[in-house]
Amino acid sequence: MENKDIKELLSYIKSIIFDVNIIADIPHKFKNNNDLLEIDETIKNIRESVSSIGVGHLSHEIKGKGYLIVTLKKLQSSLKNLTWRTKCIAKGDFSRDLEYLGDFSDAFNNMSKTLETLIDDLKESKEHFELIFQTIPDPTIITSFDEGRVFNCNKAFVEFSGFNEEEIYSGNSHTIELYTDEKKRNSILAELNRTGFVTNMEIVFKNKNNISIIGLISSKTINIKGKTYILSVIKDITQLKELEEEIRKLSITDKLTQIYNRLKLDEILERKFLLSSRSNDPFSLIMVDIDHFKLVNDTFGHVVGDIVLLEFAKILKNNIRNTDVVGRWGGEEFLIILPKTAEEGSVLLAEKLRTIIEYYNFPKAGKITSSFGVASFKDDISVASLVSRADNALYKAKDSGRNKVEVM
């Protein structure tokens, strides 16, 4: 099998594993390979199942066989079990010592019905109502539909908002300014007015100390003595969102230089290449390599070498446009992606960077030079051919004495 075939297959496999949307099909030359077709179908089944489970569709039929599929089915079964236990707690059965977890759409409906029944005769059932209401671990609040005045809230909501009970009950939800986006709040009210409920809508709140909190709010209209109120439960997902952002950042960032890594560069390259192929907009690449970098490591040590790489990346990042993209291609090689830039402009930028680096005094290592290879999109049939031309231009610059800019 040729290297080109392997690269094309790997590119497709990476796409169905890493990309949000799959924009390609399995390469034609592999469509008769039953083993690859089976792997392709299994990965797509896993994608579909994880996506469905991730948004709470626990009834989704997981298709396929094998260890990963079986593991997904076990996860789905566990989540169904947790949902069932949550429903029991919502109905007032606290005999099971479980922490409240996960998706609570059905449980929320049962809880709201229980609370609505209890509130109808609050004087007789106040003690029982308070027991259920205050035991809910997530911030829970009941407000009048028209004025937004707070009818009741639990202790979790008091802690969540940062306001004390006197402040909460003295005005309305507008007064305590919990919502940061009035349009989002109005859309919640509109949906409640239309359907009577809102489930897991992501919204940003601000507490009394002006700290932003990301939450999932689920709300339902309830009737108390002939008047319409809104029962809302808020799930604080701030830490989860921060963790997701950190994981996302780590997945696309080079650990040392803190610029994009090869994985992210490949993704951007594919996107820009496709855009230029459709629109005929100019699109260029600059491949950069630090000259004699091995000598830096051998002479000063790898710690100094790392400092040089970090400083080098900063120089590149600080001297390109906001629309340009720079990342570490590998080792001491860097790649700059220049959208809507023809060959002439790319060469000018490469010469500018080459000069800046030549006269820059790197910590410990002193003077260092670099070589540049420039390639602009022409009639390339793939990203690989464009990158190959930039790479060949780079090697031409190195072979002809280094500290040069060459074009292919």
Residue positions annotated with a catalytic role:
332
Q: Is 376 left (phi over 0), alpha (psi -120 to 50) or beta?
A: beta
Q: b/e for 87-116, b at 16 or more Cβ within 10 A?
A: bebbeeeeeeeeebeebbebbbbbbbebbb
Alpha carbon 108 to its chain centroid, in Å, reads 27
Contact 383, 269 (CB under 8 A): yes
Tokens of 297: 């490591």
Q: How far is CA 226 from CA 144, 189, 198, 222, 334, in A?
A: 12, 19, 21, 10, 68
Tokens of 404: 């040069």
Q: How many CB atoms lie within 10 A of CB 9?
A: 17
Q: How many CB atoms lie within 10 A of CB 337?
A: 22
Based on C-alpha coordinates, what's the Rg of the chain?
29
Alpha carbon 360 to its chain centroid, in Å, reads 37
Q: Is the dihedral of CA 40, 46, 49, 51 positive or negative?
A: negative
Return d(Cα 275, Cα 279) in angstroms, integer. Answer: 6
